[in-house]
Amino acid sequence: MSLRHGIRRIPVGRALQASTYTQPSITPSIPRSWQRWSSAAVSPASERILFPGALNSKLTNDLEFTSPSTAEAIPTFRVMDQDGVVINNERGVGTTDEEAVTLYTQMVLLSIMDTIMFEAQRQGRLSFYMASAGEEAITIGASSALDIGDVVFCQYRETGVYLQRGFTLEQFMSQMFSNHKDVGHGRNMPVHYGSRELNIHTVSSTLATQIPHAAGAAYALKMQNAQRPDLPPRIACTFFGEGAASEGDFHGALNIAATRGSPVIFLCRNNGFAISTPTRDQYRGDGIASRGAGYGIETIRVDGNDIFAVRESIKEARKKTLEDGGKPILVEMMAYRVGHHSTSDDSFAYRQRVEVEDWKRRDNPLTRLRKWLEGRELWNEQKEGELRRKLRKDVLGAFAQAENEMKPALKYAFTDVWENVTEEQKSQVTELLGVLETYPEEYDIEHHEGGLDSLRELVKK
C-alpha cells in the first residue's frame, strides 16, 4: 500500500515519519465509484457510461430536467420540541442534568452580556457591538461538542463559542474596551476576538475569508493526525452566516475540502438575514444544506433553537470528519436573528416589529432549554432570579474594571507587522511623535501605557 502524491508513490511508513516528511503526502480517500473509471470498459448493453466527470449516471431516453423546486426540502433534525419535550426518549438528550444546567447558565450569561453591551453602545461608552439573540444554542451547543484542540474559525456572531471554550469576562471586556490587557493590543474593532490558547483564530470582518482558512487548516491537521497517531486527532470547524455562503470563498473552500478529504465542519448559522437582505433575496435553493450535495459533502440541517440537537449533530459530525481518512461535513443550523444586525443597524426599517416579537414568543433557544429543565425539576423561578442577579453583577463588574484600565502602549500601532520595525516605519513613528509633541492637548496620550516613551523606544531600536 502506498500513499500517492502526484505521480510519485511514497510508502506509507515513510510518509508518516516526520523526519522524512517534506511535502503533503496524503491523498484523500476516494469513493470506490470514483476509482473505477480508469478501468472502465463499456459494452453496447451497458445501462451506464462511465464518463470520468459523472460516474454513476444512468442512461435515459426521457428528456427531463432535474427540478429542485419539486424535491422535498431537506428535513430539520431536532431532539426536543418547542415546549422542551423530548420527542424520542430512546435517543435521549446526550447530556447529563448537570451539563444541561451549565449550558443553560452559559446561554443566560451570553444574553445578559449582549443586553448590557448593546445598551453601553447606545450610551456612547462602547463604539460597536453585535448580539447573538436567537443563536445562543448554536454557538454554545456546538462549541461544547468540539474538543479544545480543534481549531475554530468564527465570523463575528459567535461570542458563545469563545465563552464556552473559556474566554473570560475580563478578556471579552478588555477586547471591547481596547485596554492594555487585550491580547490584540487594541488593534481591532469590538467583538473581533481571538485566542491562541483556545485555538480560535481572530475574527475578520471580511465575510467568508475564514471558510477557506478552515479548509486549509483542516488539511494541515489531516497530515498532523497521520504523522502523530499517538495524539488525539484534531479537526477544524468554521462558523459562518448564510449570507457569507454567497461569497466565492465558501464554494472554493467546500470544494477543496471535499477533494482533499479534509476533516472540517462547515457550520452555517442560517438566521434568515444578511443585514437587511432576507433569505428569499439571497438564494433560490433549499437553504445552504442543499449545496452540500453539489460538492459531495455529507450534510445535515438542524433546529438551532434546540441545544440538544445542536450538540448531537456536532458530536456526530466531528466523528464523521475523522472517518475514511478525513472528510468535510456541512451542518446548517436554522435560527432567526432576533436582534438587529449590529449596533449600526435598525432592523425595523426592513422587517416588521411583530415578526420579531412573534419569534421571541413562539420559539427561543433559552426558553426551550429552560422548559426542559423545569420539566425535570432542575430549575425554577427562584433559581432563575438568583442566577440572573449574579451574572448581571459579574458582567457589570468586569465592564467597570475594563473601562477604567489603561489603553495599550502606542507602539503596538507599529509592531507585529514585520518581524522588526523597518526604517520606513521608524520614519512614520518619528512623524507621529512630532505631531503628538506639538499638539499634546489634542490627544489622550496619558491614557496609553508608557505615554510617548513607548514610541521613542521604537525609534531608538
Ligand X SMILES: Cc1ncc(C[n+]2csc(CCOP(=O)(O)OP(=O)(O)O)c2C)c(N)n1
Residue whose CB is less far from Mg ion, 225 or 271: 271
Residue whose CB is less far from ligand X, 84 or 339: 339
Q: Which three cell numbers stand for residue 160?
A: 458563545
Interface residue with ligand X among 74, 116, 198, 275 (CB under 6 A) is 275
Q: Is 243 an interacting residue with respect to Mg ion (CB under 5 A)?
A: yes
Q: Which three cell numbers stand for residue 165?
A: 471554550
In 162-213, the DSSP E strands lie at: 200-201
- Amino acid 224 reads Q
**Active-site position among 46, 57, 205, 427:** 205
Residues from 97 through 126 that contact Mg ion (CB under 5 A): none
- Residue 424's Cβ-count burial label (10 Å; 0-12, 13-18, 19+) is exposed
Q: Would you say 214 and 236 are in contact if contact means Cβ atoms under 8 Å apart?
A: yes
Residues 162-201 as x/- pattern, contact with ligand X by CB under 6 A? ----------------------------------------
Is position 342 annotated as part of the catalytic site? yes
Residues from 230 through 269 that contact ligand X (CB under 6 A): 240-244, 269
Residue whose CB is less far from ligand X, 168 or 276: 276
Residue whose CB is less far from Mg ion, 182 or 242: 242
Q: Which three cell numbers stand for residue 409?
A: 502602549
Residue whose CB is less far from ligand X, 208 or 398: 208
Is position 457 annotated as part of the catalytic site? no
Q: What is the dihedral of CA 98, 103, 104, 107, to 10 degrees?
A: 160
Task: Residue 78: count other Cβ atoms within 10 Å of its Cβ.
Answer: 22
* Integer Cα distance of 273 and 340 in angstroms: 10
Task: From 291, 276, 212, select the one nearest 243 (Cα to Cα).
Answer: 276
Tell me, by CB under 5 A, how many residues bind Mg ion: 4
C-alpha 440: how far from chain center: 42
| Residue 244 partner contact from ligand X, Mg ion, none using kind-dependent CB cut-offs of 5 to 8 Å | ligand X
Distant-in-sequence, close-in-space partners of 2: CB < 8 Å, separation ≥ 6: 9, 10, 11, 12
Is position 205 annotated as part of the catalytic site? yes
| Residue 134 partner contact from Mg ion, ligand X, none using kind-dependent CB cut-offs of 5 to 8 Å | none
Tell me, by CB under 6 A, how many residues bind ligand X: 16
Name the β-bridge partners of 3: 10
**Active-site position among 262, 342, 347, 454:** 342
Minimal distance, residue 168 CB to Mg ion, in Å: 28
Is position 276 annotated as part of the catalytic site? no
Q: Is 271 an interacting residue with respect to Mg ion (CB under 5 A)?
A: yes
Which residue in this structure is represented by grid cell 497530515?
A: 223
Q: Is 207 an interacting residue with respect to ligand X (CB under 6 A)?
A: yes
Contact window for Mg ion (CB under 5 A) among 30-38, 234-242, 326-334, 343-351 = 234-242
Contact window for Mg ion (CB under 5 A) among 50-58, 233-241, 410-418, 442-450 = 233-241
Minimal distance, residue 238 CB to ligand X, in Å: 12
* Integer Cα distance of 48 and 118 in angstroms: 60
**Active-site position among 185, 192, 201, 341:** 341
Distant-in-sequence, close-in-space partners of 132: CB < 8 Å, separation ≥ 6: 110, 111, 114, 139, 157, 158, 159, 160, 339
Contact window for ligand X (CB under 6 A) among 46-54, 204-212, 251-259, 401-409 = 204-212
Q: Would you say 360 and 297 are in contact if contact means Cβ atoms under 8 Å apart?
A: no
Task: Residue 439: count other Cβ atoms within 10 Å of its Cβ.
Answer: 9
How many H-runs (helices) and E-runs (strands) does the chain carry? 15, 11
Residue whose CB is less far from ligand X, 10 or 110: 110
Residue whose CB is less far from Mg ion, 55 or 275: 275
- Amino acid 433 reads L
List, by residue number, the catalytic residues. Answer: 119, 205, 341-342
Could you list the residues that contact ligand X (CB under 6 A)? 157, 205-207, 240-244, 269, 271, 273-275, 337, 341
Could you list the residues that contact Mg ion (CB under 5 A)? 241-243, 271
